[in-house]
Structure 1
Amino acid sequence: MAMNLRLTDAESDALRAKAEQEGRSMQEVARTAISQYVTDRPQRLLNAIDRVRTEDRELLERLSR
């Protein structure tokens, strides 16, 4: 499926620079980033939940009473 992605000038410049640095196309770099984001989401969610449990432990205990 085709998709248009609108980037700011700064985002486009950063993507272009990264692609050139790695010797890859901008499309390949963008697709890799999207794939990583989608794949890593469950782990990022678990990390966020653990962080809330740790940082707000006292509050959560008071709320559970």
Structure 2
Amino acid sequence: MAMNLRLTEAETEALRAKAEQEGRSMQEVARTAISQYVADRPARLRAAIDRVQVEDAELLDRLSK
């Protein structure tokens, strides 16, 4: 499926630099980044939940009563 992705000049330059550094195309670097982001979502969600449980433990305890 084709898709247009609009990036700022700074994002384009960062992507170009990363692609050149790794000897890959900009498309390949972007697709890899998207795949990693999607795959890492469950871990990021779990970390956020854990952080809320720790930081708001007192409030959560009061709300449960």
TM-score (norm. length: structure 2): 0.97
In 1: Cα distance, 2:8 partner to 2:45 partner: 27
Identity %: 82
User: Which structure 2 residues correspond to residues 17-28 of structure 1 after superposition, within 5 A?
Assistant: 17-28=17-28
Paired letter, 2:24: R
Moved over 3 A (4+): none
TM-score (norm. length: structure 1): 0.97
Corresponding residue number in structure 2 for 1:37: 37
SS in 2 for 1:30: helix
CA offsets per residue over residues 21-62 of structure 1, 9 Å max, x none? 111110000000000011110111011000100111011101
Corresponding residue number in structure 1 for 2:54: 54
- Unmatched 5+ residue regions in structure 2? none
Cα RMSD for the two superposed structures: 0.5
- Unmatched 5+ residue regions in structure 1? none
Q: CA deviation at 1:63?
A: 1.1
